[in-house]
Amino acid sequence: MIIDANPETRTRRYRGVSYRGPIDAAKEAVSVTDLAERLAGPGVRRGREIAFRCPLHDDHDPSLRVDPDKGVWFCDPCLRGGDVVELARLAWGYDQRDAHIAAANLLHEFGHEIPQRPPAWFRKQERQKPINDAIEETIKCNFRRRAFKYIVLPCLQLDDSPAEGKAEIAAAWEDFQASMRRIGR
């Protein structure tokens, strides 16, 4: 068994419940022919396929081939193809990571309801809230220390004696911490 390591030729997989919901709903609710007609205008029937002017590049002759039975499309000059979500993603300029957003916009564009996140997603967010808050507080603390070290500390005129210097640094650090708390950081 040979595994293809090239990400361009592998089958794209969208992970996560909140990603699959809108993508699957868009694939079921919107046909690729309807989207191609909305993006490129009327198409030309060529056998079982319909040819449209490709919205992905400047196209003079219809080169975007849509197979309505299979629900897929392919553009010969672009060398791209896929399902209705992939066409919407590419036509509207979304990154591959934002395919679920393109699918939600596709559903909205065609007047369908966008699936909501499941209750398990909200429970997971509540479980992770203390950890996320701790991470955020750590980031803020690191920012304070670096700001003090690189901005405040060089501005202090410290004496050469180590005992007085440590006391001045400690006092300056307390003043800095208090000012950061006042501004809400």
Instruction: Among 60, 78, 109, identify where a domain stops.
Output: 109
Radius of gyration of the chain (CA): 28
Same domain, 123 and 168: yes
Average pLDDT over residues 65-88: 93
Residue 66, strand partner residues? 50, 73
Average pLDDT over residues 33-54: 92
Same domain, 125 and 86: no
Please indicate whether residue 85 or residue 173 has the higher confidence score (pLDDT).
Answer: 85
- The confidence score (pLDDT) of residue 4 equals 46
Same domain, 71 and 34: yes
Band (pLDDT 50/70/90 cuts) for residue 109 is very high
Same domain, 138 and 166: yes
Instruction: Among 49, 80, 109, identify where a domain stops.
Output: 109
Inside any domain, residue 124 = yes
Q: Is the pLDDT of residue 129 over 90?
A: yes
Average pLDDT value for the chain: 83
Residue 50, strand partner residues? 45, 66
Q: What is d(CA 33, CA 43) in angstroms, rounded to the nearest whole number?
A: 9
Average pLDDT over residues 49-59: 90
Inside any domain, residue 8 = no
Band (pLDDT 50/70/90 cuts) for residue 2 is very low
User: Cα angle at 103 between 126 and 55, to 5 degrees?
Assistant: 150
Same domain, 86 and 137: no
Inside any domain, residue 114 = no
Task: For residue 169, give every residue at least 6 positions away whose Cβ sits within 8 Å of its Cβ, in sequence order, or none.
Answer: 153, 156, 158
Same domain, 96 and 164: no
pLDDT tens digits, one per residue of 87-97: 999 999 999 88
Inside any domain, residue 65 = yes
- The confidence score (pLDDT) of residue 61 equals 86
Q: Are 17 and 116 in contact (CB under 8 A)?
A: no
Domain residues for the domain of 87 are: 17-109
Q: What is d(CA 54, CA 62) in angstroms, rounded to the nearest whole number?
A: 7
- The confidence score (pLDDT) of residue 11 equals 47
Task: For residue 64, give every residue at least 6 positions away whose Cβ sits within 8 Å of its Cβ, in sequence order, or none.
Answer: 36, 40, 51, 52, 53, 54, 55, 56, 73, 74, 75
Q: Alpha helices, DSSP H only, in the chain?
A: 17-29, 32-40, 84-91, 99-109, 119-147, 153-155, 162-182
Average pLDDT over residues 152-173: 71
Inside any domain, residue 6 = no
- Answering whether pTM is above 0.85, one says no
Q: Name the residue among 20, 63, 24 with its Cα closest to residue 40.
A: 63
- The confidence score (pLDDT) of residue 92 equals 94
Same domain, 137 and 83: no
Same domain, 100 and 124: no
Average pLDDT over residues 109-113: 92
Same domain, 98 and 47: yes
Average pLDDT over residues 100-120: 90
Tokens of 98: 């934002």
